[in-house]
Chain A
Amino acid sequence: MSAECILEARDLRHVYTDAGAPCAVLHGVDLSVRRGEFVIVMGPSGCGKSTLLHILGLMMRPTAGRLRIDGQDVQRLSAAQRTRLRRAVLGFVFQRFNLLPVLSARGNVELALRLRGARLDGPAAAALRDVGLEGAMGRKPRGLSVGEQQRVAIARAVAGRPRLLLADEPTGALDSANAAALLDLLRRLHGAHGLTTVMITHNEHLAGHADRVLHMIDGRLCDAPAADAPPDRLHTRRGE
């Protein structure tokens, strides 16, 4: 693994057992992500994108294959070590926001900081200001719009300055205008905080925000677009 790579996956395979029958989801995924890259993984529903992200996020163990994150071979780590690595290195943005409903916007961000052992007061407020929610810090998720909730989720994910940000369909619940604005925000934070971002989406219109776009087809990643995909939408590099 090169020093530039923060994430390197080799021949990742995963098989679910569904009602006693094995069901293969990943068929040998190879993936390298350099520090500072913004990578989008696209693919249709059910192709294994979320499973891949959960494996990259150390919330699942693959059935086979090797995975290195931030220089550590995570296959050899115990559950507790994986939790510590996840806490120290990774940040998550989920499609369904996954905010804790009992906490305010600020409370959600502070909780993530507390789990990382970080200072609570300054960074939480700063992260919410970064996403334009300085006026909504005390509001609970149910008092926020869908777009605002996702911005809180992003603030929570980046407040602790993770080295690798994993985003699972972060625009899936948003309309196109909000989705574009959110991607602009993610891209801005990515640059401002020097993040490495891996984002999963099936929304091809967002591909233009990525440094690199990968396609997931039938449990495999490939650089080439699917045969029926519009070529100008894929493999786009931001600014090109």
Chain B
Amino acid sequence: MPLALANLLHRKLRSALSILAVAIGIAMLLVMLGLTHGTLDEVAARVQSVDAELVVLPQHENVIFTGGAAFSDRFRPLIESCTVDDRPAVRACLPVLFDTIRLGGQQQRLFGVDPADFPAFLGPRRLVSGRLFEEGARFAAWLDTLRNADGHYDPTAVSDNELESACELVIDQRLAAVGGYEVGHVETILGRRFRVAGIVESGVAGRVFCPIQTLQHIKNAGLPWASMFFVQLAAAPPGRDAGWADRCAAALAERTRARVELKTAYGDLLAESFSQIFAFIAIASALSIIVCFLFILLTLYTGVVERTREIGILRALGADGGFLLRCAVSEAVLLCGAGTAVGIGLAFASKGLIEHLRPLLTVRIDATFLLLAAVIGVAGGAASALLPAWRAARLDPSAALSFD
């Protein structure tokens, strides 16, 4: 190790460049992993805050792209009337209609929810300023008076003024901070002027909500269709708690032919949806890391060629292949260890920069990722030393001593 360290210190610029190369690869790996997992985990965690046990999604549809009016108004009664063990399985069904809007400088998923259901979405989070959907609730109640026996109404009976009063948004604090939005702010989305009615603590399922009836009127001519449902389950029969949610999910799936999952599995659904992106990131990260280690390999290999005479001296002094291997591996591990440490620092700096420039993105760099980076850094460095070490060990000592 002293010889390895001395060799590295003797060639400071080359060592510094090698360390930088590894650092960039490690930082890239950590940031890519942290960005994808951080963002997905943050979305999954927000969904967990909804007071419900199950999610009902369109069959065979990617959860990320779930949107539009996937479920007609016939589904909700099917869900609500589901029974398990001759008992009602569902306490409440919370429809959500999604749309995509642009707010805070980037695309946002707009959650259309029933104002009456909003406490379930708010969970333990507080209203920070403004109010919830009062006008939206009045609009929903007024629409109910217009509906016929099928639950439909004539959309032409709704004037622009009546609709505009129900064009309300509730946003979370993070989006409000990024966009500089305050209560009363008016934003044109979906061709209508929406007003920010309230701001809630971050951590709610969506960053931006509006009354589902408003969105249904704008998007579906008033048809009470939904993109997905959160389902609150009825209490399990006494003594039969175990597997109750699973049995209810199975019964609902059987009844609706939709995809029914435990809410706790939402993170897995997101990960499944991003599997192709994860594969791309894994390949891109692997390539960047391989390029870094090829750089290290080249550095060490060049070092071996340059130090042929020194290797001859070592052989003359009695150094065997094992000693030369340890020297090369030690140099590589020192370089890559330092590169990994610098790379981790760079990754945290990048995380700070990304979260400063794009506050709605979350970069999560946790202990698992750091451990992975350290293992890749050190193991990759050691592996990249093998070829140079092999060449050093094979050098003929007499010829090496004659090398100029």
* A interface residues, Cβ below 8 angstroms from B: 54, 57, 59-60, 80, 83-84, 86-88, 90, 92, 94, 98-103, 107, 110-112, 115-116, 156
**B397 interface hit (Cβ, 8 Å):** yes
- Closest Cβ–Cβ distance, residue B328 to chain A (whole Å): 14
Residues of A contacting B7 with CB < 8 Å? 102
Contact, CB under 8 Å: A98 / B316: yes
Contact, CB under 8 Å: B318 / A94: no
Contact, CB under 8 Å: B2 / A107: yes
- Tell me the bound Cα distance from A109 to B310 in angstroms: 14
Known contacts: A102-B7, A102-B9, A102-B10. The answer to whether A59 contacts B398 by CB under 8 A is yes
- Tell me the bound Cα distance from A99 to B310 in angstroms: 8
Contact, CB under 8 Å: A59 / B10: no
Residue A98 contacts which of B10, B313, B396 (CB distance < 8 angstroms)? B313
Q: A59-B397, A87-B317, A111-B317 given. 15 additional CB < 8 A pairs?
A: A54-B398, A59-B396, A83-B318, A84-B320, A86-B316, A88-B318, A92-B317, A98-B316, A98-B401, A100-B314, A102-B7, A102-B10, A111-B2, A111-B3, A156-B317
By beta carbon, the residue of chain B nearest A91 is B317
Residues of A contacting B6 with CB < 8 Å? 100, 102-103, 107
- Tell me the bound Cα distance from A111 to B315 in angstroms: 12
Could you say which interface size class chain B belongs to?
20 to 34
Contact, CB under 8 Å: B319 / A115: yes
- Closest Cβ–Cβ distance, residue A157 to chain B (whole Å): 9
Known contacts: A98-B401, A100-B310, A101-B10. The answer to whether A59 contacts B316 by CB under 8 A is yes
Contact, CB under 8 Å: B398 / A60: yes
Contact, CB under 8 Å: A115 / B317: yes
Known contacts: A100-B3, A107-B2. The answer to whether A83 contacts B317 by CB under 8 A is no
- Closest Cβ–Cβ distance, residue A173 to chain B (whole Å): 15
30 contacts between A and B (CB under 8 A): A54-B401, A57-B316, A59-B316, A59-B398, A59-B401, A60-B398, A80-B320, A80-B321, A83-B319, A84-B318, A86-B318, A87-B319, A92-B317, A94-B313, A94-B316, A98-B312, A98-B313, A98-B401, A100-B6, A100-B313, A102-B6, A102-B10, A103-B6, A107-B3, A107-B6, A111-B3, A112-B317, A115-B318, A115-B323, A116-B318
- Tell me the bound Cα distance from A125 to B396 in angstroms: 31
- Tell me the bound Cα distance from A218 to B292 in angstroms: 54
- Tell me the bound Cα distance from A116 to B320 in angstroms: 11
- Tell me the bound Cα distance from A101 to B10 in angstroms: 9
Known contacts: A100-B310, A103-B3, A111-B3. The answer to whether A83 contacts B320 by CB under 8 A is yes
- Tell me the bound Cα distance from A83 to B398 in angstroms: 13
- Tell me the bound Cα distance from A174 to B88 in angstroms: 103
- Tell me the bound Cα distance from A111 to B317 in angstroms: 9
- Closest Cβ–Cβ distance, residue B319 to chain A (whole Å): 6
**B364 interface hit (Cβ, 8 Å):** no
Sorted from nearest, which 10 A-B pairs have the closest CB atoms? A87-B318, A102-B10, A102-B6, A59-B397, A59-B398, A60-B398, A54-B398, A98-B313, A83-B320, A115-B318
**B37 interface hit (Cβ, 8 Å):** no
- Tell me the bound Cα distance from A112 to B313 in angstroms: 10
- Closest Cβ–Cβ distance, residue A67 to chain B (whole Å): 15
Residues of A contacting B323 with CB < 8 Å? 115
Chain B 289-324 near chain A by CB (<8 Å), digits 1 or 0: 000000000000000000001101111111111010
Residues of B contacting A86 with CB < 8 Å? 316, 318
- Tell me the bound Cα distance from A129 to B319 in angstroms: 25
Contact, CB under 8 Å: B3 / A102: yes
Residues of B314-361 whose CB lies within 8 A of A: 314-321, 323
Residues of B contacting A115 with CB < 8 Å? 314, 317-319, 323
Residues of A contacting B310 with CB < 8 Å? 100-101
By beta carbon, the residue of chain B nearest A86 is B318
Contact, CB under 8 Å: A59 / B315: yes
- Tell me the bound Cα distance from A100 to B315 in angstroms: 12
- Closest Cβ–Cβ distance, residue A170 to chain B (whole Å): 14
- Closest Cβ–Cβ distance, residue B320 to chain A (whole Å): 5
- Tell me the bound Cα distance from A188 to B9 in angstroms: 37
By beta carbon, the residue of chain B nearest A157 is B317
By beta carbon, the residue of chain A nearest B404 is A96
- Tell me the bound Cα distance from A57 to B313 in angstroms: 12
Residues of A contacting B313 with CB < 8 Å? 94, 98-100
Residues of B226-242 whose CB lies within 8 A of A: none
- Closest Cβ–Cβ distance, residue A77 to chain B (whole Å): 13
Interface centre among A84, A87, A99, A102 (most CB of B within 10 A): A102
